[in-house]
Amino acid sequence: MSLRMTKTVKFTKMHGAGNDYIYVDTMLYDLKHPEVLARRWSAPHTGIGSDGLVLIGRSATPEADFTMRIFNADGSEAMMCGNASRCVGKYVYERGLTDKTEVRLLTLSGVKILRLEVAGGVVGRVTVDMLAPRLSDARFYVPGLDIRQGVFVSMGNPHYVIFTDDVEEAGLEGPLLERHAAFPERCNIEFARVLPEGRIRTRVWERGSGITQACGTGACATAVAACLTGRAGRSSDIIMDGGTLHVEWRQADEHVYLTGPAEFVFEGEIWV
């Protein structure tokens, strides 16, 4: 299929639990400078409005079926996004780009396996194998703020999970913690409160995007941190502003599995 030489690009707006991105099929469009387009198109008043831009491509390697690149609203490139991954699974299946219900997606943090739940040709929920987390015992102090004891978890991108009774504090401390000297590549910050029956209320300050309605890797990091500290078991429902995601940290393979919805919002064309 040849690329279209045009000044406009067709895009699809999708969200997973409220975490919304602009999706473009790069098998049809060759986008130059996606970091610039992510900033312009993500703007809420002068652009489309989103948490960032996702580029979907066909994989050139046999290990994967498709590729995903993610650019945050500030133009920085992200390593991985669980919510975006689920949306890509829905996109490629319902757009007829694959008939597989198990899709291998190449990201900057490796190949992720997407398992699609399909009924009547429509993808409902998607489970993503997020692989095994990487852990650290990092602790630090932010001048001018209370001492924050957190748990560092990497889900292919860095997360620092803080357990607190006031999850609304993310709006105050998120930007300071994101750029703390302990995190030379900046960090995603989770504020979490453990509730009864395996539920955890979580808000996320996403690196490069600020407060978002949901964060898939953030949900995974929160569940892992809660299990590590004895606050929860290996299976948790993570309640975020935009919806609830289910996370299971399986003992059999130590992989983290993220399950949640993926939804189309609208389609359109925009000038490049």
Q: Mind telling me the catalytic residues?
A: 81, 215
Half-sphere CA count of 145, side-chain side, radius 13 A = 15
Residue 79: C-alpha distances to residues 124, 217, 243 (Å):
25, 10, 23
DSSP letter for each residue of the chain: -PPP--SEEEEEEEEETTEEEEEEETTT---S-HHHHHHHHH-TTTS---SEEEEEEE-SSTT-SEEEEEEETTSPEES--HHHHHHHHHHHHHTTS---SEEEEEETTEEEEEEEEEETTEEEEEEEE----EEE---B--TTS--B-EEEEESSSEEEEEE-S-GGGHHHHHHHHHT-TT-TT--EEEEEEEETTTEEEEEEEETTTEEES--HHHHHHHHHHHHHTTSS-SEEEEEETTEEEEEEE-TTT--EEEEEE-EEEEEEEEE-
Tokens 């409160």 appear where?
193
Closest CA to 264 of 20, 8, 24: 20
User: Is residue 152 within 8 Å of 133, Cβ to Cβ?
Assistant: no
